[in-house]
Every structure is written in C-alpha cells, then in structure tokens.
C-alpha cells in the first residue's frame, strides 16, 4: 500500500480523528481494539492507539482494560 503525499511532498495523515471515529461508529461490535481500528484504517496499532488516546483525553471515546495488556475502546453516547 503506497501512501499519498501532499503538494509539499509530505505524507498525508491516514489516521485522522474523523477516520478513527468513523470506524468506531460504523462497526456492529460494541467495542474495538486498537489493532482492529488500525486494520480498518490501514495504519499501525501504535498509531491507532495514539489517536484513540487523544480521543479519550478529549472525552470522545471511553476505554477499558480487559486483560493483562488488552484494551477495548468505544464512542461516548451523546445525550
């Protein structure tokens, strides 16, 4: 998979906040792992985890540790 570049030759960001939110909103699963989000967007698990953490810090997603190293993520329901 080749990455696109902008007019200045810089790589375009694939893991945008909107892309991550779209993945979480469009799944039939109640929760996703960062690996599942990463696969859907086409980025590394670490990149997806950073974006999910950023969304968590903004209060837009919630997270729960479900194992020794496993974390699941979901969107916050709007009132």
Q: Which two tokens stand for residue 33?
A: 């792992």
CATH topology classification for 17-75? Arc Repressor Mutant, subunit A (1.10.10)
Q: What is the pLDDT of residues 18-54, one digit of tens each?
A: 999 999 999 999 999 999 999 999 999 999 999 999 9
Domain edges within the chain = 17-75
**Of all residues in the chain, what percent carry a pLDDT higher than 90?**
73
pTM (2 d.p.): 0.80
């Amino acid at each position: 998979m080749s990455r696109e570049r902008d007019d200045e030759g810089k790589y375009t960001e694939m893991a945008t906040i909107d892309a991550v939110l779209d993945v979480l909103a469009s799944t039939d699963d109640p929760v996703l792992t960062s690996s599942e989000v990463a696969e859907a967007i086409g980025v590394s698990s670490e990149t997806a985890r950073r974006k999910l953490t950023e969304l968590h810090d903004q209060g837009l997603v919630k997270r729960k540790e479900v194992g020794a190293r496993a974390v699941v993520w979901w969107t916050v329901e709007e009132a």
